[in-house]
Amino acid sequence: MTTKPEMTAAEIASAVAARKMSAFDATEAALARIKQHDGILNSFTDVTADRARAKARAIDAEIAAGKEIGPLAGVPFAVKNLFDVAGLPTRAGSKINRDRAPAKRDATLIERMEAAGAVLVGALNMGEYAYDFTGENVHDGPSRNPHDTTRMTGGSSGGSGSAVGGALVPIALGSDTNGSIRVPSSFCGIFGLKPTYGRLSRARSFPFVASLDHLGPFARSVTDLALAYDVMQGPDAEDSACTTRGLEPTLPLLANPVSGLRIAIAGGYFQNNVFPEAVEAVGRVAKALGATQVVDMPEAARARAAAYVITTTEGASLHLDRLRKRPNDFDPAVRDRLIAGAMVPASMVDRAQKFRRWYRAQLAEIFKSVDVLLAPATPCTAPKLGQVNFNLDGVELPVRANIGIHTQPISFIGLPVVAVPVPLEPLPIGVQIIAAPWREDIALRVAYALEKLGVASAPTPRGL
């Protein structure tokens, strides 16, 4: 059996398990595609070909010996370069971190993916220290959008969006503090899951904002997203925020009907500051699901402001010593934001964290009468690389600061979200399927229904 570029993880794993394809051939196909296209996409910063081939051979040997294999056997995947990969310094998009000693052990989520049979093929480009919504990086160059390589991938998990959107790998892992999984999913036309805060271990990944950081998967299908999410669940004493809840597999629930779910459209703030394509995408999703009720999330603008304040101050605290000792080795835009963050009075941060409690209670009330909220993932499709401003409702606004305005109020209180790609022309755009805490199963179920209805799908990359 030959491989084809857009095989899903489920298709590869099924073919490998049935001995129609070897894990080695699946891995070689991914490595060849990376070699063919990554010169343009710039999604990988490290290709771990030797490691990947060794792992693939080991899986094939297990199959030959009749041993039981995992649900992702032979599936190539890659990770944002803030995940520890044994043998590589964890650069987190920075120049400074390249001086770190090579990681001694993989991040927990890599270990769990590989325990399920997946094959790590490399580490991915990202915005410096994850303080980014564009996917641009002054040290490594920008990751490029697979549908139009003159455009942004979105960030900060830009390489993850580019690698999956360009079908170099079927699954990638990334991080999301304020939108860094959902924004690249939107711009690159793929599915992304930002789980509930604390659901997936962050052990041995480089942090940004401890009280907002999440890790999660990207994929070209909802089944692949659920496959990856399910094998990565589980408590981990090495991440103090990681939940002790038991495993809650979502894959068996994907095809359950959505007809009984109470689905509403996020109103007010989420219907403002959007381009027509975002309105069109939310409208298509709502129509397909029969959702007509509009629900306002109170004080969403203030929630976004509070997330901004917590991010800039906690980020500044994390990097304070590097700002003192190596300020010229930062991306200047990141450095100047972090220095300003160090100067925000502590009382403002405490106010923001207290507001977070209040806002969470308001949303908990909403989720008593609603199961799912729909909102844009980004206000627009992918802007041009280097674009500084866009014109929204006649107002000139900075692109960088406004890409994440619809994702920040959601991750602020850790709600689980699946970003689904709506394949508009000429570029795709994402919609957030937002559920109550710990109800990833519901968000994935709705995403799966949209995929089956043909409303959400990952378009074939046209920029390659």
Partner 1 sequence: MAEPLDDYIDAVSKALALPVEEAWRPAVRANLEVSLRLSRLVDEFALPDETEPAPIFTV
Annotated active-site residue 160? The verdict is: no
CB nearer to partner 1: give 312 or 407. Answer: 312
- Please indicate whether residue 317 is annotated as part of the active site: no
Taking a C-beta distance cutoff of 8 angstroms, is the pair 150, 174 a contact? no
Which DSSP string do the residues of 36-53 spell out, in sequence order?
HHHHHH--EEEE-HHHHH
Cα R_g (the chain), whole angstroms: 20
Least distance CB 364 / partner 1 (angstroms): 10
Nearest approach in angstroms of CB 150 to partner 1 is 26
Q: What is the distance of C-alpha 201 from the center of its chain? A: 15
- Residue of 22, 43, 55, 80 marked active site: 80
| 55 close to 113: Cβ distance less than 8 angstroms | no
Query: Is there a catalytic annotation at residue 180?
Result: yes
Evaluate whether 79 touches 92 at the Cβ level (below 8 Å). Answer: no
List, in order, residues 6 or more apart from 329 with CB less than 8 Å away: 94, 95, 96, 322
Smaller CB distance to partner 1: residue 61 or 340? 340
Q: Which is nearer to partner 1, 305 or 392 (CB)?
A: 305
What's the closest the beta carbon of residue 125 comes to partner 1, in angstroms? Answer: 24
Least Å from the CB of residue 242 to partner 1: 9
Least distance CB 329 / partner 1 (angstroms): 13
3-state helix, strand, coil in the chain (%, to 5): 40, 15, 45
Of the pair 62, 299, the CB lying nearest partner 1 is at 299
**Residue whose CB is less far from partner 1, 56 or 303:** 303
Q: Which of 147, 129, 225, 132 is nearest to 186 (CA)?
A: 147
Backbone angles phi, psi at 266, to 5 degrees: -70, 125
Q: Footprint of partner 1 on this chain (CB under 8 A)?
A: 196-198, 211, 241, 243-245, 299, 301-302, 305-306, 308-309, 312, 320, 323-324, 327, 332-333, 335-337, 339-345, 348, 350-358, 360, 401, 413-414, 437-438
The tokens of 11 are what?
A: 């298709």
**Which one is catalytic: 22, 156, 162, 185?**
156
CA dihedral 177, 117, 54, 158 (to 10 degrees): -20
Catalytically annotated residues: 80, 156, 180
